[in-house]
Amino acid sequence: MNATIVHNPRCSKSRQALALLEEAGVAVTVVEYLKTPPSREAIARLCARAGIAPRAALRKDAPPVASDEAALDLMARDPATIERPFVETEKGAVIARPPERVRELL
C-alpha cells in the first residue's frame, strides 16, 4: 500500500501519523507542504476525497472565511492555514487528528 502525507515535521501529530504509517509498512510519500505547497486544485481534491468541506480543512487559528471557495484560496495562498496532517491512500483521505485516524485508510 502507498500513502501520501501532507506533513509538517515540526508538528507532533504529523510526526505521530507518519510513524503509524511507517509502522504499518506503508510506502509513504512525504509532502512538506510548507516547502512544497499543494495547489488549490490539489487541496480541493484532497477535501473531496476526505468527504469534507474545504473550510473543515482550515486550521482552527486560520482567519475566518465566508465560503469554501475562499477557504481554498486562503490555503493555496498561505499553506500554513492547512490543517495537518492530511493523509491519502487508495482508500481515501483523512485529516489525521487524532493521528490514529490513519488506520481508517489502511
Q: Verify whether residue 11 is a known catalytic residue.
A: yes
Report residue 81's pLDDT band, with 50, 70 and 90 as the boundaries: very high
Stretch 45-57: mean pLDDT, rounded?
97
In whole angstroms, what is the distance from residue 1 CA to residue 73 CA?
32
> Which among 4, 11, 15, 40 is annotated as catalytic?
11
Structure confidence at residue 76 (pLDDT): 97
Q: What band does 99 get if pLDDT is binned at 50, 70 and 90?
A: very high
What's the mean pLDDT in 68-86?
Answer: 97
User: What is the fold, at CATH topology level, of the domain defined by 2-105?
Assistant: Glutaredoxin (3.40.30)
**Domain boundaries, given as residue ranges, for the chain:** 2-105
What pLDDT does 1 receive? 92
pTM beyond 0.85: yes
Assign 3-class secondary structure to 42-87: HHHHHHHHHCCCHHHHECCCCCCCCCHHHHHHHHHHCHHHECCCEE
Averaged over 23-40, what is the pLDDT?
Answer: 96
